[in-house]
A and B are shown apart, each in its own frame.
Chain A
Amino acid sequence: MILSHASGRARERRHLIRSIAVAAALTLAATACGSGGQAGGSGDGGSTLTVAVWNMAKTPEFKALFDAFQAANPGVKIQPVDILADDYADKVTTMLAGGDSTDVITMKNVTDYSRYSSRGQLTDITDLVKSGDTSKLAGLDAYNVKNAYFALPYRQDFWLLYYNKAYFDKAGVKMPENLTWDEYAKLAQQLTKEEGGKKVYGTYHHTWRSVVQAISAAQTGGDQLGGDYGFFTDQYNLALGLQKAGATLDFGTATAQKSDYKTMFETGATAMLPMGTWYIASILAQKEKGATDVDWALAPMPQRPDGTGVTTFGSPTAFAVNKRAKNADLAKKFVQFAAGKAGADAIAKIGVVPALQSPEITSAYFGIKGMPTDELSKKAFQPDKVVLEMPVSEHTSDVDTILKEEHELIMVGDKTVADGIKSMNERVKNEVLN
């Protein structure tokens, strides 16, 4: 078929015009001012509450809280906005930047909280703190930003010492009541051995900087945002000493091989493990499944010789109300509920440490099947003082990054302790505090 010039061009032009029309339509669609946000409200005035959580299916605490809240408030339906735990903060940042209107945002850690609150993305809920009795709410101080609160904690994890009872019995040693760091180091060396061609380390220090830095800040009263880090020295010397003696897995190998503290403890590759209380629920589940037969118990964190009582560090988890929440009032109600007694009961039952502390909640907690029942374990569960893992301010995340980088250099032996601390001081002062 042969067309004339003109009609061919006309056809071409028509084709072009059609394409342009499509493009224009798309442009309009893209720039049309939508309401933004997810369909959260069900139309009858906010009886559906949206809550941003991570790994809904595998994090039972959320389901426990939601069920309890829905039972206490008939007619209310909670719709989880399920986000992967691994990159939770990144997605929440993007959502909030895009104007998302999810009602409640879970604060995975205080560093993220400091970011969102300082950007003004969260609703001020100081009135909830002032109106209720929050004196028993552990970790609340972490959320104090210039005397205003933008979140309430519902769970509070703190650090203690897990140990393999079987190894202790075999070596004929008993875990002391009040362990000091020196005793801890001796124990670690004493318990290091070869067993059936397999190396058993006396202790395992995970690669997080908190293992060295947060504990020394808590026990010396040092300020991790202060720009002067001399108070890390003793703890670094201890950690490097253990590494040198071969009583713990060396840092380089641990980071490179992505070593997993659970694997270390559950396969009997280490006799001791300083770790947070979140690990309790996980061990219970693994033992239940028969995935491990580790005979475990708890002890308080080791202390400095000059210390009095048991001081450890911890990190709370909290709920906050999005500034753009569709159902702000219901959202506040939920935040208060989760931080209150009903919320604490709901999560204590499944092995999560609630922020609200009371003797009955502790005894309920130790009533869970599979928990160690000795006195020392119970004592470990009631530290005298829990210091926040990392103070909250607008500098938190920048300082965090620097301290992490320098921590790695000290631990792989690239810098001496003194040099590492010196460059921490310089970098935090120059890059952050100036």
Chain B
Amino acid sequence: MATLHDAPPATAGPPRDLPAGADRPGRGLVRKVLAYALLVVVAALVLVPFAWMLSSSLKRDNEVFTIPIEWIPREFRWSNFVEIWDRIPLLTYLGNSAFLSVTITLLQLLTGSFAAYGFSKVRFPGRDALFLAYIGTIAVPWQAYMVPQYIMMQRAELTNTYWSIILLQAFGAFGVFLMRQYYMSIPDELCEAARIDGLSEYGIYRRIMLPLSKPALASLALLTFVNTWNDYMGPFIYLTSNELWTVQLGLRSFIGQYDAEYAMMMTGAALSILPILAVFLFGQRYFIRGIATSGLKG
């Protein structure tokens, strides 16, 4: 198989983290402490709503929306976290959400990055116009074409099946756009060199582009996964049978016409964040690849 002879030096070295400019050791320590203090304060502020969510999940329903806000529950009702599994078939819902999110994310990654290569590295007439059409579709609020889409799905008898959600969401423009931008920043010389070595376009995509685009693929996977996982309106419109419901629908079922079980909703919301968290932590490795800095302390 062909190998690269003269890849440009620009990409020869693996990407690294940004070294923080540490001028003098003494000042560096003070700055470090200050930086940490600032980060901790900001992180605490950022997590306040999440704390409210957790605290609500340990209350009774009629204690959630007290005025003023009660940050500490009067009594900690850990039983909410046990009860919720009996109240709604949460395990089924979690499984459904996971299935949809994983399927859609994989399809989005595969087809999106594949198409992005065509949009960024293959020159052909009409390419940019077509790409603009792609971006244009993101600009239309979904509510505007929800009904034509639904009619189409109804005719194809795909409503109340997972097919409808997968087909509607797996081929969005977002993934194509994100991957194209990333490929744009990979120098063309690299592809040229590979062509000279006799690699086909598909070979370049598979052997050069995909391995280089791990960080972008990771962020696309993460964002697609989160968006699908948290999507409410799509599953709500298309899934009627209870056994197909996703977590988001399950949580909304705690809101009735005249009353709402907010504590249960927050319990479910807290539980439903865990899978996202797992995906996020897993994907982190790709945002920063652990490479020793070249003699500079970060």
Residues of A within 8 A of B (CB): 8, 29-38, 54-55, 57-59, 81-88, 90-91, 94-95, 97-100, 108, 249, 253-254, 257-260, 262-263, 266-267, 269, 276, 278-279, 282, 286, 291-292
Contacts and interface: CB of A to CB of B under 8 A. Distances in A.
Given A81-B240, A286-B62, A32 B156 contact: yes
Contacts of A32: 155-156
Given A29-B156, A97-B150, A260-B260, 5 more contacts: A30-B156, A54-B256, A59-B257, A258-B65, A262-B61
A108 B257 CA distance: 9
Contact of B256 (A58, A91, A98): A58
B240 A38 contact: yes
A55 B69 CA distance: 29
Contact of A267 (B66, B151, B200, B249): B66
Interface in B145-192: 146-147, 150-157, 159-160
Contacts of A30: 152, 155-156
A263 B63 contact: yes
A34 B156 contact: yes
B227 interface: no
B236 A97 contact: no
Contacts of B255: 55, 84-86
A386 to B, nearest CB: 18
Contacts of B254: 58
B259 A262 contact: yes
Interface in B31-83: 60-67, 69
Nearest to B146: A94
A86 B151 contact: no
A99 B61 contact: no
B62 A94 contact: no
A82 B242 CA distance: 7
13 contacts: A8-B200, A33-B155, A38-B159, A84-B253, A84-B255, A87-B233, A249-B67, A257-B65, A263-B62, A267-B62, A267-B66, A286-B62, A291-B60
A260 B64 contact: yes
B246 to A, nearest CB: 12
A15 B255 CA distance: 50
B262 interface: yes
Contacts of B60: 291
B195 interface: no
Contacts of A29: 156
B242 A279 contact: no
A291 B154 CA distance: 44
A381 B60 CA distance: 30
B237 interface: yes
Nearest to A290: B60
B151 A97 contact: yes
Given A94-B147, A97-B150, A263-B62, A55 B156 contact: no
B258 interface: yes
B150 A263 contact: no
Contacts of A31: 152, 155-156
A282 B156 contact: no
Q: Which of A38, A82, A86, A97: most chain B Cβ within 10 A?
A: A86
B67 A253 contact: yes
A283 to B, nearest CB: 10
A253 B147 CA distance: 37
Given A55-B253, A291-B61, A84 B151 contact: no
Interface string B137-149: 0000000001100
B294 to A, nearest CB: 41
